[in-house]
Amino acid sequence: MFQRRLLLLLAVTVIGWALAGRAPAPERVRAQSPPRATMTIEEYEPRSTLVVASHAVPRARFPVVDVHSHQPADLGGAAFDRRLAEMDALNLRVLVNLSGGTGESLRRGMEARRGHPQADRLVSFANLDLSQPVGPGYGTRAAAQVEADVRAGARGLKLFKNLGLRVRRADGQRLAVDDPELDPVWQACARLRIPVLIHTGEPAAFFEPVDRHNERWLELALRPERRVTPPPSFEELVAERDRLFARHPATSFIVAHLGWHGNDLTRLGRLLDERPNVFTETGAVLAELGRQPRTAAAFLAKYQDRILFGKDAYVPDEYPYFWRTFETTDEYFDYYRKYHAFWKLYGLGLPDPVLKKLYFANAVRLVPGLPVAGWPAL
């Protein structure tokens, strides 16, 4: 109401000046204009005046295996056909469903697509049932279940972030990522020659105070449940994870989300140098790569045999941001989720040999049961 009265008063004043033949200078009118109501940073969408080359990339240059997807375990029938049509438009050849379940739920998922001529375009990883406290003997039973799940069609094992953060031992203590009780599971995966895609912790900023210095402030303000209140700290979780990798050199581990080291690629490089059984993937960390295009391009070239493509949340409209970042040298373009990043992205301009390994070749080499024919020549 106050603003409307102020606008009316200003309009009457300007009309009066005009009738009197003495209209004010434009600067004076602007100075007296009422301020706009407060907007949120989510609403603020400035139109950049920067004029640079811009290349939309709706379809990946080469076929892609997305090793970090989450799909309904029982996806089949017409819903599966619709998913395949979406994948074809993006040049996604295979989705690896990390939410495959275990036991009967996994078997139902396999059955939902049985007999479909393109059933091999959706591959499932099994999961551990960590819904109850872990006591003595759990690891042996879980390893046996992993073997049964692989016989049912699982092509790998996925560990969610609850391991290390929320899963408890029978004595009430937190179950560490490298707790020896789980050793039989990792040993079984090595014996079965299946990879373990493991998500440990959260971005380091999620463990820090939510203040003006935290670069993930907006996300934590909008989604406060994502903040982690230590203990454990980020460094404790990373240390547990890395000890696990060292203790099981025969097991292939894919560390999710660039290990949450996308902001420190030198540190991630040291991990890859020290642990030849460790691989990583790009799920949900495009904003980290796109803000350091020269460093990220050099890193992906150096470790081109160790990095797989992953997206995480399946949203078809978001994939082209990955294609544009990896394939072009465009400058200063938007990321698809404003609350993830306050910054713009820059294209890495990866050469074709690196793109092919990132998009499909490393996954085909590491994940059993993927289609082996029809890929572009390396």
The pLDDT tens digits for 221-246 are 999 999 999 999 999 999 999 999 99
Contact at 8 Å (CB) between 359 and 344?
Answer: no
d(CA 54, CA 334): 11
**In angstroms, how far is CA 121 from the centroid of its own chain?**
20
Tell me the whole-structure pTM to 2 decimals: 0.89
| Amino acid in the structure at residue 245 | F
The pLDDT assigned to 9 comes to: 38
CATH code of 64-366, in short, is 3.20.20.140
Residue range 27-45, pLDDT digits in tens: 444 445 555 668 877 788 8
Measuring CA to CA, which residue among 314, 308, 374, 348 is closest to residue 90?
314
Share of the chain above pLDDT 70, in %: 90
pLDDT of residue 33: 53
The residues, any chain, with a CB within 8 Å of residue 319's CB and separated by 6 or more, are 60, 90, 92, 311
CB 184 within 8 A of CB 143: yes
How far is the C-alpha of 80 from the C-alpha of 95, rounded, in Å? 12
